[in-house]
Chains A and B, each alone.
Chain A
């Protein structure tokens, strides 16, 4: 048996691999389903119904996809430069905290002022959250995987501290939650009676801008050069450290926007359980998208469908809701294996030696 690199890169494979991986992951989810004793056909049908069965279900899926587009973009942009930002979860909370800080009455202005201000504050806060690990990496060589990860825990504890201290809502009946965001700072709803909000529009704009920046600008070229080969990039006169700091800032800012969108668009106030791991799921979203910003939108929709569909299925069939997390994890494993078969082929037998 021998592994060899494919000579030509068929562009169709690049498209086919993520789709096939997602389907394989969904098929593999039948194993735990069978283990739980569910009727598999009915379960998948219920999953489909849970996403496409009604207008409400579909908008719920879009609402769920919104933060995942942001965190997926955050991971995709950082990973393109081989900056392993595993701290999107913390940066999300920093963004949410800043949004609540600005948006709960610190400034009282009209909507046209308040919404950009809240978005800007959240983006800056999130961006600063990744600048720390990036600085420690470029200055001291401290592994950013570990520092950005540990920072998640620190930030979450810090948010809890704020929610029990200065940010605590005196009207919150003792619950550690922030005051509600004032109406002028809240992202508008897109449809009456649905939870879907303008955060989705913002996420789509970010995806398009990121796509154009990465593929069409000199900045994007520098980012990809640093990711492909830092030594060669340095030799070519690219300031690697400065590029990494810029990428860190933008990646963190995008994760911060996920927090803004959840707090100002969906929940209205901040609690310590704002995110059920959107930061970590964003990594799966980015990998499934092959680190392409526009691909992130598609894979976020897929992952959100898995979550929303599996949730509704688990309620209907009495299967543990951890099935959704399990399927998402399987998707990640499948897509990295799928990516391997997109790049390599395996030969068996005598022909391999030749």
Chain B
């Protein structure tokens, strides 16, 4: 199989989109937070919390969509904690975010172990199934790539559209962007900087958690330790790569999914000649290269990382 054949295969594109799905949720969540001026390094832990909460809810008998809701609530909870620390208290966003990652990850693992003390093979749930709608699924290429996905992938694509529409077309979106650029101006307009930032961080964190839930409720059918495996950090890199634009973030996530899918296929092909680890490294190396290329002309939200206090300039 040569590279051209890989690019022509349906399974490659379907895999790319599947791998991109949690990243799309994560990068949209991170983008919302950062557009409002709050960096959320809690994402790696919020992914774990979402994966855990979604899986646990379904395992306890909830319907799948209620599991997604449970994940979103878990994400919003940790988002609220991060927002409390960084918005009114104005504490270091870097440190608070890392703290959230540690807290959410260890809390998820602790809960899982407490619920299932002696289980060696993780119990399985029935995850979201591929849509496989009649007629459209039979369309060559488009059918398997798009309609062979689960509902969560569609939700991810819809989320991109929703975030784009929110930021570009609604007064709320204008206010959100302004609060990440110039909170003083927003305050002068009589809007609450605190409320806008709180809302953005909670909503963004809920999205991140749904990305985590995709892992346990669609990609796999169980929760296991270390399953997030750095995906959260990749999302942080992707936001910068995307210059805080939803469309480019979608592009970046799918590009990353392609590299990852390509890596698996090349590995089986060239595994004998090149150590498999070289391929495992490439997504991370490419992320760093993309960061360096984009960093120079990056259009940061100007108030990113800067605390704002009411009545104090």
Contacts and interface: CB of A to CB of B under 8 A. Distances in A.
Which 9 A-B pairs have CB atoms at the shortest separation, nearest pair first? A320-B113, A325-B106, A329-B102, A161-B277, A329-B103, A322-B110, A142-B295, A326-B106, A332-B99
A329 B275 CA distance: 36
Contact of A140 (B41, B102, B284, B292): B292
Contacts of B234: 150
B102 A2 contact: no
Nearest to B311: A2
A328 B109 CA distance: 14
Interface stretch (A99-107, A151-159, A187-195, A208-216): A151-159
Interface stretch (A223-231, A232-240, A279-287): A279-287
A330 B94 contact: no
A136 B285 CA distance: 13
A340 B295 contact: no
A200 interface: no
Interface in B42-73: none
Nearest to B41: A145
B107 to A, nearest CB: 6
Interface in A173-189: none
A61 interface: no
A320 B110 CA distance: 6
B114 interface: yes
B106 A140 contact: no
B41 to A, nearest CB: 7
B95 A154 contact: no
Contacts of A319: 114
B109 A150 contact: no
Interface in A324-347: 325-326, 328-330, 332-333, 336-337, 339-340
A24 B309 CA distance: 27
Contacts of B278: 161
Contacts of A158: 277, 281
Contacts of B105: 325, 329
Contact of A320 (B88, B117, B237, B280): B117
Given A165-B275, A330-B103, A150 B233 contact: yes
Given A161-B277, A322-B110, A143 B102 contact: no
Contact of A143 (B89, B91, B117, B291): B291
Most buried by A among B88, B98, B237, B291: B98
Nearest to B94: A84
A141 B298 contact: yes
Interface residues of A, number: 47
Given A158-B277, A323-B110, A336-B91, A150 B296 contact: no
Contacts of B90: 340
Contact of B284 (A153, A326, A328, A337): A153
A160 B94 CA distance: 29
A341 B84 CA distance: 14
B100 to A, nearest CB: 8
Contacts of A339: 91
A147 interface: yes
29 contacts: A32-B110, A84-B94, A86-B98, A136-B288, A142-B295, A146-B233, A146-B237, A146-B287, A146-B291, A147-B288, A149-B236, A150-B230, A150-B234, A150-B288, A151-B288, A153-B230, A154-B285, A157-B277, A165-B275, A280-B98, A283-B95, A283-B98, A287-B95, A320-B114, A325-B109, A328-B106, A329-B105, A329-B107, A339-B91
B295 A143 contact: yes
Nearest to B44: A149
A341 to B, nearest CB: 9
A318 interface: yes
B305 to A, nearest CB: 10
A134 B110 CA distance: 36
A35 interface: yes
Interface string A88-128: 00000000000000000000000000000000000000000
Nearest to A145: B94
B284 A336 contact: no
Given A136-B288, A136-B292, A339-B91, 13 more contacts: A86-B98, A136-B295, A142-B292, A143-B295, A154-B281, A161-B277, A320-B113, A320-B117, A322-B110, A329-B102, A329-B106, A332-B102, A333-B81
B114 A336 contact: no
Nearest to A326: B106
Interface in B111-150: 113-114, 117
Contacts of A328: 102, 106
A322 B99 contact: no
A60 interface: no
A36 B296 CA distance: 50
Contacts of B217: none
A164 interface: yes
Contacts of A149: 233, 236
A123 to B, nearest CB: 24
A143 B94 CA distance: 12
Contact of A333 (B85, B230, B281): B85
B291 A326 contact: no
B89 A337 contact: yes
A329 B44 CA distance: 14
B292 A280 contact: no
Nearest to B103: A329
Given A284-B102, A336-B85, A337-B89, A142 B291 contact: yes
Contact of A160 (B236, B277, B287): B277
B113 A141 contact: no
Interface in B272-311: 275, 277-278, 280-281, 284-285, 287-288, 291-292, 295-296, 298, 309, 311
Contacts of B106: 322, 325-326, 328-329
Given A150-B287, A329-B102, A337-B89, A143 B292 contact: no
A328 B99 CA distance: 9
Contacts of B102: 280, 284, 325, 328-329, 332
Contact of B296 (A140, A151, A164, A322): A140
